[in-house]
Structure 1
Amino acid sequence: MRNSFMGKKERLKFELFKSIIFSRNGLSFNELMQKHNLTKSTLSRYIHELGQEVELAFSGETNLIQNPKTGTYQLQTKAPYSLGYLIDYIHLFYVNKSGTFFILDALLKNHYSTIEAMALDLHMSSSSVYKQLRALKEMLIPFGGKISFEQGASPLRGDELGVRLFSFYSYWSVFKSTEFTSNGYPESWLNIESIEAYFDHTRSLSESQQAKLRFIQLITLKRVLRQKKNIELSDSFIEDTAFFDTKDTEVLPLLKQRLPDKLYQAERALLLYATRGLVYNLDSLETKKKIVQNYEKSSLTIAIYTTRLMRQVQEEFKLAYTEEGYINFYFYLIILLIYIKHINIDILGYYKNELSFHSMIDYDETNLDIFQKITTIIEQQEFYSKINKESLKGVMSILSLTIYSGIYLNKKSGNISICVIFNNNLILADGIKKVILDIYNPDRIIFTNDVTMADFVISDSYEMVNPETDYFYFDDQLNPKQWELMIDAINQMFYKTIFLRL
């Protein structure tokens, strides 16, 4: 991730931490050296520093150890921390060691007349502040923003939509759902009850969903109330997003009380559209259906584009849209097409793997054909010239991924045929079948007695199977590890034959 607010050294140690924590049994020194292409002396130094920093970040509750039996590096925790907690907090620890986000946070909270005044206030040298500001300026370029010390209410200027989007992604990429200090902001700005109340799933929002809403609200209030920067939306933008306003419920009363109605309505329009694009699952299926139906009944160009694109995808991939699949596909697609039409900022640097869907899907001949068909369909759309002209690789990638996901949502799932033969204990074969049906969707499983017709054979004896048939030798029913390995093998079968094949 390009815009991680870490120095190069901190990013590498963070990647070492993730490699170790994601490995079930830890990784050896040589494995880490090869995986991260490091010399022996460099890795030794980084491992030593990482051990000290892990202990410091988690106040001694988590330690990096080298297993005395296997020699592999592992994380040892005294408290029951989840992987997400460990990764997000060590990420925050390394961000705090870097001065880039520290400088950005100060710019967002305060106004400085000169770089020297900023350096004095932050107890930093002017040269250090200059260095971090150069990094921030580079990060702001795709968002149409710039840093200014001219007299005014905001040191971040330029395209207001871009500045807000940059601020959101910056705060989210740093803090996520970890603890966020309210120092410098009124407590009322962090209270999201009014914005939560607007959406259907208020009572079931997770910490990460709440954190995103909190950052969106905080940035909106700060830009409008403290830095006197109002959003300016075209009539076309407001018209295209109008159907996302589904209730009369008041949103952000602090703004409504202090802004003229026209300015408040623009802020409301942006907020109710942007939250749908940045926070997952705020609406029930019924609300999404209402939004989709309103677009379909309208004469909006953006709705025509969406309907046409979905029809071409359906024809090319021979889809039979389910009601839920169609609604979700349309809902997320129109959010993205509105973004392309009115915002079109390339947020490539804020996503892992540069928004590439090839990281989650095997890049073989079958899927290459699917990707090429998706690209061809996109290139046939009237709005493609805008993406192509501005070379927005991130926008193109996320549009391709959205279409791929829409295909997957509506493609009839396949199944795998399994043959189970257990000679040592006859009833156990039926027991194995029941275990499989208890775990997996029965519609995806076909049991067969013919080993030559099976995709997957489970047996306690040698069986003559086809070369393309997967085979699992199950000879010790009393060994829990055998059951675990069998389930893992079936998981791999589903991954290869159903998930990876549209």
Structure 2
Amino acid sequence: MRNSFMGKKERMKFDLFKSIVFSKNGLSFNELMQKHTLTKSTLSRYINDLAQEVEETFDGQVHLVQNAQTGTYQIETSEPYSIGYLVDYIHLFFVKKSGVFFILDGMLKNHYSSIEAMALDLHMSSSALYKQIRELKQMLVPFGGKISFDKVASPLTGNEVGIRLFAFYSYWSIFKSTEYDNQNYPASWWEIKEFEEYFDHTASLSESQRAKLRFIQLITLKRAVRQKNPIEISESFLSDIVYFDTKDSELLPVLKQRLSMEDYHKERALLLYATRGLIYNLDSMETKKKIVENYQQSSLEIAEYTTKLMAEIQKEFNLEYSEEGYVNFYFYLLILLIYIKHINIDISGYYKNGLSFHSIIDYDETSVEIFSKIEKVIEQQEFYSKINKKSLKGVMSILTLTIYSGIYLNKKAGSMSICVIFNNNLILADGIKKIILDIYNRERIIFTNDVLTADLVISDSYEIVNPKTEYFYFDEQLNPEQWGKMIDAINDIFYKTIFSVS
């Protein structure tokens, strides 16, 4: 992840921590050395540092230890902390050590007349601050942002939409659902009840969804109200996002009170569009359907782009859209195409895989062919030539994955056939079948007695099977690991035969 706000050493120690905490039984010194390509002396130094930093981060409640019996490194906790909690808080600890993010945080919170004034406030030398600011400037470039201390309310200037997007991704990548210091903001700015009540799923929003809403609200109020940097968006952009405003209820009253009516309408329109693109599942299916219908009935060019692209994807991949599948696909594709048309910023630095989403899919020959077809369809679209070439790679990656996911949403799922033969305990064969049906969708499992036609044969004895058939040798019925491996074998075939969009 390019924009990690960590130094090189902190990033390596963070990666070491994740490797250990995600390992079921811990990792040995040699395994860590090979996995992270470190020398023995370097890894020893990092492990020693990390052990102390884990203690410091979690106030002695979490420990990095070496198992006396196995020699593996493990994470021990005195409380039942989740892995997500451990990873997010150690991440925050290392970010604080690097300093770059907290310079950004200071710029968003306070007004500084010069670098020297900022250095004094942050207890840094001017030379050290200059170095950190140079790094921050490079991170701002893709977002159209600049840093200037020329008597403006905020040192962050340039493309206002880009600056806010940069601030959002920065805050979210650093804090996620962890605690954020709100002392520099009025208490009312921190309270999101009015904001979240606009959306359908208010009662069931998770902590991470609320954290995202909170960052969006704080950044909006800070930039628009305190630093007097209202959004400037074109009439065309406003027209393209108009139907995301589905209710008459008031949104962030402080904006309406402090801004002109024109600026308030722009802020409101952008907020209601952007939140749908940044936060999952705020709307009910009824609201999504209403938004989609309004666009389909409009004469907007962006609606024509979306409808045409979906029709050509349907034809290319022989899809039968269900009503729900179509609405969801259209909704998310529309959000993305509006982003490409009007914002068009490459945000790949905020994804762990550099927006190379292909790495999360079993990228075999079939997948290569599917993505190639998707890209060809995209390249034939009218909007393709309008994508900024600087952001083309990142934009294409997220667009191809969005379409790939939309295809899957509307692709009729297949099934797999399983032949179960158990000779040592006859009733156990029926027991295995019941367990499989208890776990998996009954419509997707077909049991057969013919070993030559089955996708998977489960047996406690050698069987002659079709070369293409998977075979699971199950001869230890009292061994829990064997049951787990059987489920893994089924999952693998499910992935290959059912979850492929080909």
TM range, smaller chain: over 0.9
Q: Is 1:153 the equivalent of 2:158? A: no
Q: Is the 8 A contact 1:362 1:500 kept in 2?
A: no
- How far did 1:486 drift? 1.5
| Aligned-partner Cα distance in 2 for 1:26–1:452 | 41
> What is the match of residue 163 of structure 1?
163
Verify: 1:3 aligned to 2:38, yes or no: no
Residues 348-497 of structure 1 mapped to structure 2, 5 A cutoff: 348-387=348-387, 389-497=389-497
- What do residues 98-148 of structure 1 show as CA deviations (whole Å, max 9, x unaligned)? 110111111111111111111111111111111110111000001111111
Provide the secondary structure at the position in 2 that maps to 1:449.
Answer: coil
Q: Which amino acid aligns with 1:378?
A: I
SS at match of 2:419: strand
In the alignment, does 2:237 pair up with 1:237? yes
Distance in 1 (CA, whole Å) between partners of 2:62 and 2:467 is: 47
Measured in 2, the distance between the counterparts of 1:492 and 1:75 equals 30
Q: Deviations over 1:252-283 (max 9, x none)?
A: 01111222211111100000000000000000
Q: CA deviation at 1:17?
A: 1.1
Q: Which residue of 2 aligns with 1:338?
A: 338
The TM-score normalised by the length of structure 1 is: 0.98
Is 1:13 equivalent to 2:13 in the alignment? yes
1:266-277 pair list within 5 angstroms: 266-277=266-277
Look up the SS of the partner of 2:256 in the other structure: helix
SS of 1:427 mapped into structure 2: helix
Cα deviation, residue 354, structure 1: 1.0
Write the mapping of 1:284-299 to structure 2, written as runs, cut at 5 A: 284-299=284-299
- Secondary structure of the structure 2 residue equivalent to 1:64: strand
**Residue 171 of structure 1, CA deviation:** 0.5
Match of 2:308 in 1: 308
1:99 aligns with 2:99: yes
Is the aligned partner of 1:39 residue 2:34?
no
Q: Which amino acid aligns with 1:200?
A: D
Q: RMSD between aligned alpha carbons?
A: 1.1
CA shift for structure 1 position 388: 5.6
- Distance change >3 Å, CA 494–CA 174, structure 1 → 2: same
1:109 and 2:104 matched: no
TM-score where L is the length of structure 2: 0.98
Q: Residues 109-258 of structure 1 correspond to what in structure 2 (within 5 A)?
A: 109-258=109-258
Deviations 1:443-502 (A, max 9, x none): 111111111111111112221122322222222322222222211221222122222453
- What amino acid is aligned across from residue 291 of structure 1 in structure 2? I
CA distance in 1 between counterparts of 2:26 and 2:386 reads 47
Q: Number of paired residues? A: 502
**2:67 matched residue in structure 1:** 67
Deviations 1:9-47 (A, max 9, x none): 101111111111222222221221111111111111111
**Contact preservation (8 Å) 2:54, 2:64:** yes
**Could you tell me how far apart the structure 2 residues matched to 1:310 and 1:73 are?**
50
Show CA shifts across 1:190-235 (max 9, x none).
1111111100000000000000000000000001111011111111
The gaps in structure 1 that reach 5 residues or longer are none
SS in 2 for 1:81: coil
Q: 1:81 is aligned with what amino acid?
A: Y
Tell me which stretches of 4 or more aligned residues in structure 1 moved more than 3 Å.
388-391
SS of 1:389's equivalent in the other structure is coil
> Alpha-carbon deviation of 1:370?
0.6
* Distance in 2 of aligned mates of 1:232 and 1:115: 28
Alpha carbons 2:407, 2:501 under 8 Å: kept: no
2:277/2:335 contact within 8 Å kept: yes
Distance in 1 between the 2:420 and 2:229 partners?
Answer: 67
Q: Distance in 2 between matches of 1:127 and 1:404?
A: 48
Q: Structure 2 CA distance, aligned partners of 1:125 and 1:199?
A: 46
Classify the secondary structure of the residue corresponding to 2:452.
helix
SS in 1 for 2:354: helix
Q: Letter of the 2:113 partner, please give it.
A: S
Partner SS for 2:240: helix
CA distance in 2, matches of 1:365, 1:10: 37
Once residues 117 and 262 of structure 2 are traced to their aligned partners in structure 1, the CA distance between those partners, rounded to angstroms, is 37
Is 2:344–2:391's contact at 8 Å kept on the other side of the alignment? no
Gaps of 5+ in 2: none
Amino acid paired to 1:460: D
Percent identity over the alignment is 75
Hey, what's the Cα distance between the residues in 2 that align with 1:21 and 1:380?
46
Matched residue type, 2:17:
F
- The amino acid of 2:434's aligned partner reads K
